[in-house]
């Protein structure tokens, strides 16, 4: 599968429909693999916590979940993958790729939203586990989430506990060597489908302004993320642009300096 390297990660050059089709084509009983959807918040965190890089690089598929990143990369002359947001991939899988009566496994999502999700997408009752807040700091609670997924195999396993918890959880499930199917680290995708959260209008999504709609809807929780943390991605992209330009100017016999950690 064609990939484009950006900020230290190789991203699949797929839109949401193509990504969903590729995921759906995997055999249900195949070894567990997981999909990550890095956006500006993820990249800013990776710059602060490079120990997370192996988790992202170990994913079966890495999809660009940010029109802001894609647009800025294009402006800077960097490799620009197509955008496949976790929410769009989730919707495509649940509305176009489920077999009749197929059961999902879901980790996360408040139980009160489950009936609406089941009704809207005409789902069979999913295997559902909602770990407690802070479970990533409780070895027993974290292990329970891993064990639940292993014990409830499904073609699609939705991990909706927020980043980087869901990515850490996906890597731990894969490390057991006992799980099957595909884990999807999709954040709020199920909440949008269930109606628990309202997604930005299509025009805002296409304009790369979905982050603004979410900020307005939940400023207390998201102000730091979108106004302080995420803008770092512009500096990271500018630095990558400079590094790539320098490397193109070096003589072929000279080895370019290694790019900094994204």
256 within a domain of the structure (yes/no): no
42 within a domain of the structure (yes/no): yes
14 within a domain of the structure (yes/no): yes
How would you label 196-228 residue by residue, b for 16+ Cβ within 10 Å and e otherwise? ebebbeeeebeebbbbeebbeeeeeebeebbee
Smallest CA-to-CA distance from 14 within 25, 4, 6 is with 4
Residues 6+ apart with CB under 8 A from 162: 108, 187
pLDDT of res. 178? 97
Rounded Cα–Cα distance for residues 231 and 212 (Å): 13
Which is higher by pLDDT, 119 or 225? Answer: 119
pLDDT of res. 119? 94
Please list the residues that pair with 127 across neighbouring strands: 105
17 within a domain of the structure (yes/no): yes
pLDDT of res. 261? 44
Take residue 119 and report the two structure tokens written for it: 């009704």
- State the pLDDT confidence band at 260, using cuts at 50, 70 and 90: very low
Whether the per-residue pLDDT at 71 is higher than 60: the answer is: yes
Omega before 233 cis (within 30°)? no
237 within a domain of the structure (yes/no): yes
pLDDT of res. 51? 96
Take residue 157 and report the two structure tokens written for it: 């396993």
What DSSP assignment string belongs to 126-174? PEEE-PPTTGGG-HHHHHHHHHHHHHS--SEEEEES-TTHHHHHHHHHH
154-177: per-residue pLDDT in tens?
Answer: 999 999 999 999 999 999 999 999
Is residue 83 within 8 Å of 62, Cβ to Cβ? no
Domain count for the chain, please give it. 1
Rounded Cα–Cα distance for residues 82 and 90 (Å): 16
149 within a domain of the structure (yes/no): yes
pLDDT of res. 74? 95
Rounded Cα–Cα distance for residues 178 and 151 (Å): 9
HSE, CB side, 13 Å, CA atoms: give it for residue 212: 11
Take residue 86 and report the two structure tokens written for it: 């976790």
Residues 6+ apart with CB under 8 A from 80: 4, 6, 70, 73, 74
Whether the per-residue pLDDT at 59 is higher than 60: the answer is: yes
Place of tokens 């407690």: 132
Smallest CA-to-CA distance from 107 within 140, 142, 138, 63 is with 142
Rounded Cα–Cα distance for residues 202 and 213 (Å): 11
Rounded Cα–Cα distance for residues 1 and 191 (Å): 30
215 within a domain of the structure (yes/no): no
140 within a domain of the structure (yes/no): yes
Where in the sequence is the domain holding 82, given as residue range(s)?
3-199+231-249
Residues 6+ apart with CB under 8 A from 95: 121
pLDDT of res. 237? 96
Query: Average pLDDT, stretch 68-90?
Result: 95
Report DSSP state, residue 82.
Answer: P
Place of tokens 């989730």: 90
């Amino acid at each position: 599968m064609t990939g484009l390297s950006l900020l230290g990660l190789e991203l699949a050059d797929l839109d949401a429909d193509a990504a969903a089709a590729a995921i759906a084509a995997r055999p249900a009983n195949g070894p567990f693999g997981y999909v990550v959807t890095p956006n500006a918040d993820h990249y800013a965190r990776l710059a602060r916590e490079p120990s997370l890089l192996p988790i992202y690089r170990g994913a079966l598929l890495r999809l660009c979940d940010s029109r802001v990143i894609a647009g800025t990369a294009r402006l800077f002359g960097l490799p620009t993958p197509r955008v496949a947001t976790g929410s769009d991939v989730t919707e495509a899988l649940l509305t176009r790729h489920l077999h009749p009566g197929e059961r999902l496994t879901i980790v996360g999502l408040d139980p009160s939203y489950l009936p609406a999700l089941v009704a809207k997408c005409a789902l069979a009752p999913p295997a559902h586990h909602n770990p407690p807040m802070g479970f990533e700091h409780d070895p027993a609670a974290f292990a329970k989430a891993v064990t639940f997924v292993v014990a409830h195999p499904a073609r699609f396993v939705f991990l909706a506990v927020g980043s980087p918890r869901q990515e850490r959880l996906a890597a731990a499930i894969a490390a057991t060597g006992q799980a099957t199917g595909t884990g999807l680290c999709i954040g709020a995708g199920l909440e949008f489908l269930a109606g628990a959260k309202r997604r930005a209008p299509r025009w805002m999504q296409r304009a790369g302004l979905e982050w603004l709609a979410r900020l307005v809807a939940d400023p207390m929780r998201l102000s730091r993320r979108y106004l302080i943390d995420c803008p770092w991605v512009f500096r990271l992209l500018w630095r990558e642009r400079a590094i790539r330009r320098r490397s193109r100017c070096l003589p072929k016999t000279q080895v370019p300096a290694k790019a900094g950690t994204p």
